[in-house]
Amino acid sequence: MDGKFTNKAKTVMSPNLTFKKLDKRDQIPYDLLLLADPSKVLVDGYVMQSEVYIAIQNEETLGVIVLFPLTTKAVEIKNIAVKPAFQGKGIGSYLIENALKVVALNKKESICIGTANSSVGQLYLYQKLGFEITEIKKNFFIDNYPEPIYENGIQAKHMLVLTRQL
């Protein structure tokens, strides 16, 4: 068996949002994915092997989360993004909480996410949702991106991997 997991919780409703799995015929929301990962080459490298879920409200896609099967027991959130006008309204948390439900239903043991040392808001959000720092990939952003990246006045140098046990 490969690391791919089956989806047993295709759609989870909340009062205003729907969490929906995209199938192969659906359009990939690249506009959102590129907010989190500016390299289309990198996005294309993982998106086809992943499960892609979106948050929809009144037929408008407001957010996306990409779940990549690392092993038979572990999943990585490769990409999460919310439309800029809708950020800070709980949609990112909604995407992660619903992803946790899907992954737990599929009997995975852990889920991880990587982010930069400079991504202060994201580090806050993931730790608030129970993820803990488990690994530091030193100089990841220096070694893998052509230009220096700055956020919040801090250079993105290292990737912090945060993991939540399920």
Report the interface residues with ligand ACO, using CB under 6 A.
35-36, 77, 79-82, 87-93, 113-115, 121-122, 124-125
Q: Which residue, 3 or 114, has its beta carbon nearer to ligand ACO?
A: 114
Residue 51: strand pairing partners: 67
Please report which helix (H) or strand (E) contains residue 138, including its range. Answer: none
Shortest gap between Cβ of 88 and ligand ACO (angstroms)?
A: 5
Shortest gap between Cβ of 38 and ligand ACO (angstroms)?
A: 10
Shortest gap between Cβ of 146 and ligand ACO (angstroms)?
A: 19
Shortest gap between Cβ of 158 and ligand ACO (angstroms)?
A: 14
Q: Which residue, 89 or 101, has its beta carbon nearer to ligand ACO?
A: 89
For 106-120, give the DSSP string: TT--EEEEEEETT-H
Q: Which residue, 36 or 111, has its beta carbon nearer to ligand ACO?
A: 36
Q: Which residue, 17 or 166, has its beta carbon nearer to ligand ACO?
A: 17
State the Cα–Cα distance between residues 80 and 87, nearest whole angstrom: 12
161 SS3 class: strand
CB-based contacts of 121: which residues, under 8 Å, 6+ apart? 152
Shortest gap between Cβ of 1 and ligand ACO (angstroms)?
A: 25
Q: Does residue 96 contact residue 55 with C-beta atoms inside 8 Å? A: no
Q: Which residue, 65 or 166, has its beta carbon nearer to ligand ACO?
A: 65
Phi and psi, residue 65, nearest 5° = -140, 135
Q: Where are the alpha helices (DSSP H) in 48-154?
A: 91-105, 120-128, 140-144
